[in-house]
Chain A
Amino acid sequence: MYLLDSQQVMDLLSRDTGRPVFRWIDATKPGRNDLFISVLSLGQIADTIEHMAPGQRNHWRRLLQEGRRELEEAGSLIDIDMPIVDAWQTNLRGDLLADIDGAQENLPEDDRLIVATAIARNYTLVTASAEVIDKIAERTSLTIMEP
């Protein structure tokens, strides 16, 4: 089972099949019930879209709307529930962040909740290489895969 991080979700919703996430899907061939997305990612993407230029923004609103419908039909959206909050509170919240020195500013709380989702559900987080994520994986049960 896999959880896409927000950038991978955005690349999926872009429908630009040249992006790395599409190559990863082609190679991994996850089934309908193997791939998940946090509702927080949709919120982050909606926020990103609102910062775009008007022409691009309108296109992306449609991409998000259609993509959200596809994800809902596939049953792939994950809400934030108590086990996820527990994983976040125990290891990742605020200056805890897996005891990584100076990491508090490196990863926003919404991204940490997405990491906590992967930990709580025991899913592999599909994410581009980032030092702070690598360190969290070294210190917790998080497993990661680069697209």
Chain B
Amino acid sequence: MATNRKIADDTDHGVTLGTLIDRLGKGAAEEFFGRIDGSLRTGEVIHGTNVRESRVAFSKARLDGHAQLVIPGRASDGRRGAADIGDSVVVIKMDDLQAVVRAGRDEFDWGRAFAPHSGLEAATSGASIVRGARGARLLRA
């Protein structure tokens, strides 16, 4: 489980799709990854920009599919910036954000969330709610 993990390795070489999946879930992460500016990703890695670079590219970020991951403190030569991906900032057009949110929402599966798993087996016997006419008493005035 890599949630909240440090991304020291990532910041040297970019933020991986795997790290995003840990943070956002598969559907949202893949949608977000696909909406990062194409020049800022290679293979399954996003190359974060620094604040100065993000300002220069701001007008481009207003177009669909040109989101940026800005890593505060990261030098333009790529030296390590923020220690945790949670400290980074996303510059993203609202339409792109909407697509990411929807992709994350559609991913949730109640059946899967409540499926049995190792360490918690399903109940083997049927169980019915205990019912009774509780709470029928009247209050005294």
Which residues of A are in contact with B by a Cβ distance under 8 Å? 6-7, 10, 12-17, 22, 25-26, 29-33, 35, 44-45, 47-48, 51-52, 56, 59-60, 62-63, 66-67, 70, 74, 94, 104-105, 108-111
A14 touches B105 (CB 8 A): no
In the complex, whether B132 has a CB less than 8 A from a CB of chain A is yes
A31 touches B106 (CB 8 A): yes
> Contacts A30-B110, A48-B130, A51-B130; is A17 near B116 (CB within 8 Å)?
yes
Chain A's closest residue to B130 (CB) is A48
Measured between beta carbons, the chain B residues less than 8 angstroms from A59 are 121, 123
Chain B's closest residue to A22 (CB) is B111
CB-CB contacts below 8 Å: B92-127 with A: 105-106, 108-111, 113-116, 120-125, 127
Measured between beta carbons, the chain B residues less than 8 angstroms from A13 are 114
A17 touches B129 (CB 8 A): no
Can you show 14 pairs from A to B with CB atoms below 8 A apart? A10-B129, A13-B114, A15-B121, A25-B111, A29-B109, A31-B106, A31-B108, A51-B130, A59-B121, A59-B123, A66-B120, A108-B136, A109-B135, A109-B136
B111 touches A14 (CB 8 A): no
B105 touches A31 (CB 8 A): yes
Residue from the list B109, B123, B130, B134 in contact with A14, Cβ < 8 A: B123
In the complex, whether B131 has a CB less than 8 A from a CB of chain A is yes
| Distance A104 CA – B7 CA, assembled complex (angstroms) | 61
In the complex, whether B39 has a CB less than 8 A from a CB of chain A is no
Classify the interface of chain B: helix, strand, loop or mixed.
Answer: loop
Measured between beta carbons, the chain B residues less than 8 angstroms from A60 are 123, 127
Measured between beta carbons, the chain B residues less than 8 angstroms from A63 are 120, 123
B111 touches A17 (CB 8 A): yes
A35 touches B110 (CB 8 A): yes
In the complex, whether B128 has a CB less than 8 A from a CB of chain A is yes
A74 touches B113 (CB 8 A): yes
B135 touches A15 (CB 8 A): no
| Distance A7 CA – B123 CA, assembled complex (angstroms) | 14
Chain A's closest residue to B105 (CB) is A31
B105 touches A33 (CB 8 A): yes
Chain A's closest residue to B117 (CB) is A15
A7 touches B130 (CB 8 A): no
| Distance A12 CA – B48 CA, assembled complex (angstroms) | 42
Chain B's closest residue to A52 (CB) is B127
Minimum CB–CB distance for B34 against chain A, Å: 21
Measured between beta carbons, the chain B residues less than 8 angstroms from A67 are 114
Measured between beta carbons, the chain A residues less than 8 angstroms from B125 are 56
Chain A's closest residue to B108 (CB) is A32
